[in-house]
Structure formats: structure tokens, C-alpha cells
Amino acid sequence: MKMPRDRLIRYSPLDRANHWTMAMVFVLLALSGLAFFHPAFFFLSHTLGGPVWARILHPFLGVVLVLLFYAMAARHVRRNLLGENDVQWMRQIGDVLDNRDEKLPPVGKYNPGQKLVYWSLVVSIALLLISGVIMWRPWFAGYFPIPLIRFASLLHAVSAFVAIVTIVVHVYAAIWVKGSVRSMTRGWVTRAWARHHHGLWAREQEEAQRREQQP
Ligand code: HEM
């Protein structure tokens, strides 16, 4: 199907399927993880079929999240490096929060806030994987000394806290910027949205389209 002229493609079907599977897996991991963290949250173990199944499935789901997340993150790494105008955008954070978008310099596919979310997840999910493997009974924990396993369990809790707070910010920002969720459900954004929120990216996409149309 041909894309109408006033739209730009932002995410492929594969990107979107990956993202929403990852989002569901993340929620299941966060809820079952909270069940292990404190008795007040024990009832949440039922999200994975009760305490025994939650204990078995949580680490395997963690591996699924790692595979899905880094498959997506690897495709977006270049776009998440600090680019021209990003430092100026951060200096004008007051204008960002007060919705004075017209005063902001144009940014690429992601703004510095989105880049921060990206790198926070790259680091916290890596730490969750490393600490999780060290604690994973009966497979790997036997290879590590008990003080290290205790440290890993602390690191796991801290990294999970960082990842959950990051995702709460990510979801809030996605809802706050109107038109953003549609890019991840339908795959496209309007040209006006792209020019308004990601001016450099819009320019780059429009130039690529012009080149394609040239005979
Ligand atoms: C559960 C609710 C979630 C919602 C509503 C949501 C929404 C969105 C939206 C709208 C975008 C597109 C933003 C844009 O292109 O401007 C996006 C991108 C992205 N999301 Fe989510 N998301 C959710 C969960 C997650 C989770 C759990 C993760 C990772 C564990 C995640 C990781 C990402 C990544 C890596 C991107 C690409 C942006 C980048 O590379 O910085 N999202 N999300």
C-alpha cells in the first residue's frame, strides 16, 4: 500500500511487533519481580501462574526481554548518539517542560530525553542480565561465592528500580507528545508532527523521498 503524501514512516511492522512484545514481557517481569521483592507484593506472583511458576519463568522471560530489547536497541544505536542541537535542547529544558516547542532547536529522530531513556535501558537491562545470571538457581548460582550472589541480588533490585522508573517516564512522555503512540501502533507520523517534534529527521526523510522520486 502506498503511503499518503502527508505521512512519513517511523517504524516498520517488525519494529512495532518487537516493541509491543517487549512491553508485555517487561510488565510481566516487573510484576513477578515485585512479588519476590517484598511480601506485600506476593499476590503479584499470580501474573505468572503462582509463586512456583513465577520463580521458574521469571528468569527465562528475562532472557526473552534481553534478546528482544538488544535486537531493537542495536538497530537504533546510531540514532541515539548525541547529535547537533542536542546540547542546546537540553539547555532549554525549561522551554521543553513549558511546551514552548517553537523556541527549541530542531532535533533528529530522537530528542535528548528519548536518548536518555534509551541509554538508561541499555545499562539497566545489561546489569539485570548479569546480576540475574549470578543468582539463577539451579543453573548458575552454584558457580559463584555467596557474598557475590548477595551483591548481585542488591544490584538486581537497584537496576530493576531504574528500569521501571525509566519505563514510567517513557510511557508518560509517549502519551504527553500527541501523535507519538500512533507511530508505534500504525508505524507512521504526519509530516507536520515530524517537522514540529523532530525537524532534522523530517528534513532527512523528505530529502530521501525527493531523491527516490527523481527519474
Ligand atoms: C508499556 C507501554 C509502552 C508504551 C506506551 C511505549 C510507547 C512508545 C512509543 C510511542 C515509542 C515511539 C517514540 C517515538 O518514536 O518518538 C516508543 C519507542 C521505544 N520504546 Fe516504548 N513504550 C512502552 C514500553 C516500552 C518498554 C517496556 C521498552 C523497553 C524495555 C520500550 C523501549 C522502547 C525503545 C527502545 C523505543 C525506541 C526509541 C529509542 O530508541 O529511543 N518501550 N515506545
Residues with CB under 6 A from ligand 1: 10, 19, 22-23, 26, 69, 72-73, 76, 80, 110, 114, 117-118, 121, 167, 170-171, 174, 180-181, 183-184
Residue nearest ligand 1's atom 13 by CA: 180
> Hey, which bits of the chain come out as E strands?
7-9, 188-190
pLDDT in tens, the chain (215 residues): 678 889 999 999 999 999 999 999 999 999 999 999 999 999 999 999 999 999 999 999 999 999 999 999 999 999 999 988 999 999 999 999 999 999 999 999 999 999 999 999 999 999 999 999 999 999 999 999 999 999 999 999 999 999 999 999 999 999 999 999 999 999 999 999 999 999 999 999 999 988 988 87
Q: How far apart are CA 83 and CA 67, in angstroms?
A: 27
Establish whether 156 is a catalytic residue.
Answer: no
Q: Is 1 helix (H, G, I), strand (E, B) or coil?
A: coil
Q: Which of 156, 170, 197, 198 is catalytic?
A: 170
